[in-house]
Amino acid sequence: MLIEILCTGDEILTGKTVNTNYSHIARRLADLGFAVGRGVTVGDDREALLAAFREASARADAVIVNGGLGPTVDDLSQEVAAEAAGVDLVLHEEWLERMQEFYTRRSRTMPSNNRKQAMLPSTAEMIDNPIGTACGFAVSIGKARFFFTPGVPREMRRMLDEQVIPRLLAQSGLKGVSRLKRFHTFGIGESRADEMLSGIETLAIDGAVKLGFQAHYPQLETKLAARGLDAADLDRKLGAVEAEVRRRLGSFVIAEDDGTLEGVILSTLGAHNGSLAVAEMFTAGNVAARIAPLDGAERVFREGLVARDLQHLCRTLGVVAEKVEPEAAKAVAAALAKRSGATHALAVLIELDQGADRLEFGGNICIGLAAPGTLLARPARMLGGRDWVRIGATEMALDALRRHLQGLPVDERIDFERR
């Protein structure tokens, strides 16, 4: 089954807004094994929309249209869809009532132009939008089934998962439900992860699980997309594969699904009445900035200290250290733990290479960690330019703390360091 994605709107066409809706839709479909043949973007223009609808209907089996469902005059999707389908635009009473309730619940009167959002092609199937006033709809144009979704990302995402994908699965003849299991790792590149997981798909019952990766430095996302008859069937099909991926990726897994490295640290520290202080140099407060703003961090995060100069950092904490080395990182962490009263103190010291920023530019990183009964240092060298080193060092510091909290080796070699 061939699918196309058609994005509408002047903001997208002119590049004012980066089209992240497209990449979200395409990724979700690819995760499920659907083939996306083409992406098309057109503006809020009647002729351009009509041409794009007609052309897509001649090529594809299914077309996902995003945007153009709003209440203003430049939102043309329903109207042009009706024209392309050769049917009238009619008022969908049920959705009009839903919108009126939506406004009544908020003690507001519905503006009259919202009525436009309940006008659908007469042959359309209304698709629910539980969190907005733009309903979606499905309608056949030529040989293709068109699915219209709102441009607001959270509305589109929910409608895609709950309403559109089940219909696509049904249309494609695929029965049942789907699930995406995600593992987030730090320290391994895509090609190494691919090797570590070689043959993993064959563990799945009747090939129902598809493996994929998405790299966003310094993290790598490993995805298992599965299809099954129902939730129990999915549990059964994914179970063995999930467990084996978790085992093979081992201590590199920083979080799963919607979890994050910083979230895991915060909840683990919180569960043990732990608290945290951080001292940073070139990472410039980025380690603190990952933890401190989180909901609940006020009970855990005690203090962050940033200094670009090692001597200033040491003076502030009453420590004597000459250069970035393990003993200095330990001394800074210990002094910070003492001063702040935090159970855990993390120090990220960096000595940058001299000279202009370029790919070979690097830095010597030394992470220090003071925790009850523990005082350790983790040295590393990273290359790749200033930003790359800063991003890598921030992640490595957080990961060192996570590894310690989970009883894992803190000095396991990662792909991004040179020794």
C-alpha–C-alpha distance, residues 92 and 107, integer Å = 23
Contact indicator for 150, 195 with CB cutoff of 8 Å: no
Q: Is 30 in the site for a copy of itself (CB under 8 A)?
A: yes
The DSSP secondary structure of 91-154, one letter per residue, reads: E-HHHHHHHHHHHHHTT-PPPGGGGGGGEEETTPEEE--TTSS--EEEEEETTEEEEEE-SSHH
Nearer to a copy of itself (CB atom), residue 75 or residue 280: 280
Distances from the Cα of 379 to the Cα of 107, 145, 222, 310, angstroms? 59, 57, 27, 16
Nearer to a copy of itself (CB atom), residue 41 or residue 219: 41
The piece of 11-19, 97-105, 235-243, 244-252 that touches a copy of itself (CB under 8 A) is 11-19
Q: Is 50 in the site for a copy of itself (CB under 8 A)?
A: no
C-alpha–C-alpha distance, residues 32 and 148, integer Å = 20
Q: Is 302 in the site for a copy of itself (CB under 8 A)?
A: yes
Q: Is 38 in the site for a copy of itself (CB under 8 A)?
A: yes
Q: Is 19 in the site for a copy of itself (CB under 8 A)?
A: yes
Q: Which residues pair with 62 in a beta bridge?
A: 3, 145
Considering only residues 258 through 287, tell me which ones interact with a copy of itself, judged by CB under 8 A: 278, 280, 282-286
**Least gap, CB of 313 to a copy of itself (angstroms):** 8
**Least gap, CB of 25 to a copy of itself (angstroms):** 7
Q: Is 344 in the site for a copy of itself (CB under 8 A)?
A: no
C-alpha–C-alpha distance, residues 95 and 93, integer Å = 6
* CB neighbourhood size of 50 (10 A): 17
For the chain, how far is it from start to end, CA to CA, in angstroms? Answer: 49
Nearer to a copy of itself (CB atom), residue 58 or residue 91: 58
Q: Is 307 in the site for a copy of itself (CB under 8 A)?
A: yes
Q: Is 25 in the site for a copy of itself (CB under 8 A)?
A: yes
**Least gap, CB of 132 to a copy of itself (angstroms):** 14
Distances from the Cα of 63 to the Cα of 4, 6, 12, 36, 168, angstroms? 5, 7, 18, 9, 10
Q: Is 96 in the site for a copy of itself (CB under 8 A)?
A: no
Residue 406 is encoded by which pair of tokens? 């989970």
C-alpha–C-alpha distance, residues 311 and 321, integer Å = 7
> Out of 3, 32, 40, 64, which residue is the one contacting a copy of itself (CB under 8 A)?
40
> Out of 3, 9, 32, 42, which residue is the one contacting a copy of itself (CB under 8 A)?
42
Nearer to a copy of itself (CB atom), residue 92 or residue 302: 302
**Least gap, CB of 46 to a copy of itself (angstroms):** 13
**Least gap, CB of 236 to a copy of itself (angstroms):** 28
Considering only residues 76 through 95, tell me which ones interact with a copy of itself, judged by CB under 8 A: none
Nearer to a copy of itself (CB atom), residue 43 or residue 259: 43
Q: Is 312 in the site for a copy of itself (CB under 8 A)?
A: yes
Size of the site for a copy of itself (CB under 8 A): 60
Contact indicator for 260, 186 with CB cutoff of 8 Å: no
The piece of 35-43, 62-70, 161-169, 173-181 that touches a copy of itself (CB under 8 A) is 35-43
Query: Who contacts 298 (Cβ-Cβ below 8 Å, separation ≥6)?
Result: none
Helix 261-271 / helix 386-405 crossing angle, nearest 10 deg: 30
Nearer to a copy of itself (CB atom), residue 27 or residue 236: 27
Contact indicator for 29, 36 with CB cutoff of 8 Å: yes
Contact indicator for 135, 158 with CB cutoff of 8 Å: no
User: Do you know the residue count of the chain?
Assistant: 419
The piece of 31-39, 125-133, 197-205, 237-245 that touches a copy of itself (CB under 8 A) is 31-39
Q: Is 301 in the site for a copy of itself (CB under 8 A)?
A: yes
| Helices of type H across 250-385 | 261-271, 286-291, 310-317, 326-340
The piece of 9-17, 133-141, 197-205, 372-380 that touches a copy of itself (CB under 8 A) is 9-17
Binding site for a copy of itself (CB under 8 A): 12-20, 22-28, 30, 36-43, 48, 52, 55, 214, 278, 280, 282-286, 288-289, 291-293, 295, 297-298, 301-309, 312, 316, 339-340, 357, 386, 390
